[in-house]
Structure 1
């Protein structure tokens, strides 16, 4: 009589064979499946709909921006939110559907408060009546803190100018390089503390058909019960021999700042060129510009003019921008009798 081991051997052989066949089938099946996945052509990337054409030769920045439906990008670095600035902005009578807005804010507690108010204002406007909405709104946060106090005294102290203006230049460069698109004809740099301009600001400035043009920035104040105005921004000027000689004796990293007794440049300031009752459309060539209300043809930035955050011919930020643009072949102009007004702290 066969032993138990002898009797179970055929069953063991059958079982092992069956398991082996199952494993072999699984491996072959998996191999075929994997092979099919590997040789299957990848899904088409892009396609005709992903290709965009921009005929830049047909893009204009003319003296008739409204008639030609030219798009304007208004850019504003913000640390404090002023209601007066926002109200003035939305009261500009250039069609809002032709305007894109861009804002940039630094890190920090004060900027956190500003961005909350800005968000509320933007959301209210962009969900309101369609005729009041802007084409688009971009809000950026810097990856660095504001290196200076926002009090007027601290902002304008000579000792803080190099660091402050360099930081502002970085913010401006980040803002325009991120928000400009192929359809933009003009860029209006409008500071967050400009609280009063003509409603026709864009059309008025563009009508001069200059590559770079800046308004004269003043400030309203009350003196002994009487309303008066005074010059505010001194960064728009015509150069002088005194400033040129000063620059020749400076080190590579030194910068000339306008409006300080310690640096007597004797430049001719746009602020001092204003004449009451004179032609509001008078224009003068300038060598440095402020950016309180600065209109620039987009091609100037596209050609490489930026706001230097480093000493550029002993200039920084907007004044350095005018110098760089001039070396690219673009002359800046100022409007001595066309006024915009700065917030009075």
Structure 2
């Protein structure tokens, strides 16, 4: 392991909502990371939960504080909840759901980022990744990079917000390659150089990049332009930055 990859301050940022079943294991995985406590911080933002996510998160802060140099826990409700029995990927609610998630990510970023060099976006329901996750991502030498998020080893891409060719190719199209350029990114696991966020790179809560050639064409289910993590990828392009994916480095997400 390259000791230089253990020196840069990192903040892990995680939006949380209705995740009582995932939070304790999330903390266990953070505790298992092979990254020094003195340069690791955590930021959580809870919004609009209808279960006990908020009090459970408050109860778990002490454990996280023993593992990290700083823990930030913020509550910010946006007034959005999916109707009961409707899957979160339902096309009719995608715009509203992802607009709310973009706002949550931006609020979390502005409340939790301090002096860190890197931001690791990490969803609470990513259930398996190696203890040296941060080092593996940093070792690519890329400043916006994601691993391949799947629900079973060798399975299809789960986080389909990272794509090329106007949304027609995802990381499972590039297996056998260690690193590929992406037009957009997913946010289940995403490492970003913090200065890019400070320079204005964020998660658009509105259609962004209408004039960018990489965005998807208009479709009956959506208008032209990208939002949330896909919007961040297009914004990165407009800022002269390149996003990257690691097709053969898989992390596991809980099945929906």
TM-score tier, shorter chain, comes to 0.7 to 0.9
Residue correspondence of structure 1 range 136-215 to structure 2 within 5 A: 136-149=70-83, 154-181=87-114, 183-215=115-147
The CA distance in 1 between the partners of 2:67 and 2:14, in whole Å, is 17
The number of residue pairs the alignment matches comes to 237
Cα distance change, pair 125–269 in 1 and its aligned pair in 2 (3 A): closer
Q: What residue in structure 1 maps to residue 62 of structure 2?
A: 123
Q: CA RMSD in A?
A: 2.1
Q: Are the equivalent residues in 2 in contact too, given 1:108–1:145 (CA < 8 A)?
A: no
**Residue 184 and residue 124 in structure 1: after superposition, are their counterparts in 2 closer, same or farther (change >3 A)?**
closer
- Is the 1:63–1:208 contact (alpha carbons within 8 Å) kept by the matching residues of 2? no
Corresponding position of 1:23: none
1:85 aligned to 26, 35, 44, which one? 26
Residue number among 161, 165, 171 corresponding to 1:270 in the alignment: 171
Q: 1:268 to 1:167 in 2, by over 3 A?
A: same
Whole-Å separation in 1 of the counterparts to 2:3 and 2:163: 24
From the CA coordinates, give the structure whose radius of gyration is larger: 1
Q: 1:242-261: per-residue Cα shift (whole Å, max 9, x none)? A: xxxxxxxxxxxxxxxxxxxx
Cα drift, residue 117 of structure 1:
1.6
Q: Do the aligned partners of 2:145 and 2:191 also contact (CA within 8 Å) in 1?
A: yes
Native 8 Å contact 2:180 2:246 kept in 1: yes
Tell me how far apart the structure 1 counterparts of residues 84 and 5 of structure 2 sit (CA, whole Å).
35
C-alpha displacement of 1:180: 1.0
Q: Please give the secondary structure, in 2, of the residue aligned with 1:305.
A: coil
C-alpha distance in structure 2 between counterparts of 1:124 and 1:296, whole Å: 26
Partners of 1:216 and 1:334 in 2: how far apart? 7
Deviations 1:16-66 (CA, angstroms, capped at 9, x unpaired): xxxxxxxxxxxxxxxxxxxxxxxxxxxxxxxxxxxxxxxxxxxxxx99431
Name the structure 2 match of 1:339: 250
Q: Is the 8 A contact 2:157 2:170 kept in 1?
A: no
Residue number in structure 1 paired with 2:158: 232
Structure 2: segments with no counterpart, 5+ residues: 210-224
Measure how far apart 1:115 and its partner are. 1.7
2:149 counterpart SS class:
strand
Q: SS state of the match for residue 144, structure 1? A: coil
Match of 1:326 in 2: 237
Counterpart in 1 of 2:10?
A: 72
- Measured after TM superposition, the shift of residue 154 of structure 1 is 1.7
Report if the CA contact (8 A) 2:48-2:81 is conserved: no
Q: Over residues 243-290 of structure 1, what are the superposed CA-to-partner deviations in whole Å (9 max), with x where a residue is unaligned?
A: xxxxxxxxxxxxxxxxxxxxxx5x21113323xxx46xx110000100
Distance 2:70 2:37 in 1: 9
Richer in helix (by share): 1
Aligned to 1:29: none
Structure 1: gaps (5+ residues) = 1-61, 127-131, 221-226, 241-264
What is the distance in 1 between the residues matched to 2:170 and 2:155?
Answer: 16
Q: Quick one: structure 1 residues 118 and 294, their matched pair in 2 at CA, closer, same or farther if it must change by over 3 Å?
A: same
- Displacement of 1:97 in angstroms is 1.9
